[in-house]
Amino acid sequence: MRVRHIIIFSVLLVSEIIIGIRTAFNSYSNRWYPLRVFIHWTWGFYQTCAGLFVYLKYMRYPHRYYHGVVRTVWDKNGGLSLGMFIFTPYEATGDDERQEYCEKVAVHEFGHTLQALLLGPLYPVIIGIPSMCWGNIPYFRKIRREKKIPYTWLFCEKWASYWGEKATKEKAIRD
């Protein structure tokens, strides 16, 4: 009985990974949208739930759909991706450079949502924690600044920008 359950679980896990990869690279297609939402709320339940709570906290900020995920423009300078919710910096009106930066952050954060589709419950450990540390711990900020190391030097950040660019056909942050 146990072996049968392990086999069924393994088949489901491999299926979710294959569907996640396929969905990630077909993310611009609306016909896959229900499947992506289902995967986010099952396979990526923890980060999507956390994203919903952050979304509710920033309910008064502007929201819009961005390639099938919910994008919130908040008053912070950095971005955050939690399941099917992304949070990007405030876009100053009339400042084209700032607008371009915010759009690149959105592409990058969308790349993280694709990683979440693929990795599911492993996403917080493989991507979330390293990304949060790399972006927010003063020691790492200092090293990046002093040694002129780009933000996307870290494997999960480079991967997010790459997948975001492939899926949206737009430029992501690279510095």
Would residue 173 count as lying in a domain?
A: no
Total of domains in the chain = 1
Lowest mean pLDDT among 40-44, 56-60, 80-84, 159-163: 40-44
Give tens-digit pLDDT for 150-161. Answer: 988 999 999 999
Report residue 23's pLDDT band, with 50, 70 and 90 as the boundaries. Answer: very low
Q: How far is CA 72 from CA 59, 117, 161, in A?
A: 9, 19, 19
| CA 82 – CA 7 distance, rounded (Å) | 30
The partner residues of 82 in beta bridges, in order of sequence, read 85
Cβ-proximal residues to 27 (8 Å cutoff; 6+ apart), any chain: 36, 67, 68, 110, 114, 167, 168
Would residue 76 count as lying in a domain?
A: yes
* pLDDT value for 64: 87
Would residue 155 count as lying in a domain?
A: yes
Would residue 82 count as lying in a domain?
A: yes
Would residue 41 count as lying in a domain?
A: yes
* pLDDT value for 21: 54
Residue 29 has pLDDT above 60, yes or no: no
Q: Residue 76's domain spans which residues?
A: 2-168
HEC assignment per residue over 5-56: HHHHHHHHHHHHHHHHHHHHHCCCCHHHHHHHHHHHHHCCHHHHHHHHHHHH
Give tens-digit pLDDT for 77-106. Answer: 888 999 889 999 987 767 778 888 888 999
Would residue 174 count as lying in a domain?
A: no
* pLDDT value for 139: 94
User: pTM, whole model, 2 decimals?
Assistant: 0.79
Would residue 175 count as lying in a domain?
A: no
Report residue 111's pLDDT band, with 50, 70 and 90 as the boundaries. Answer: very high
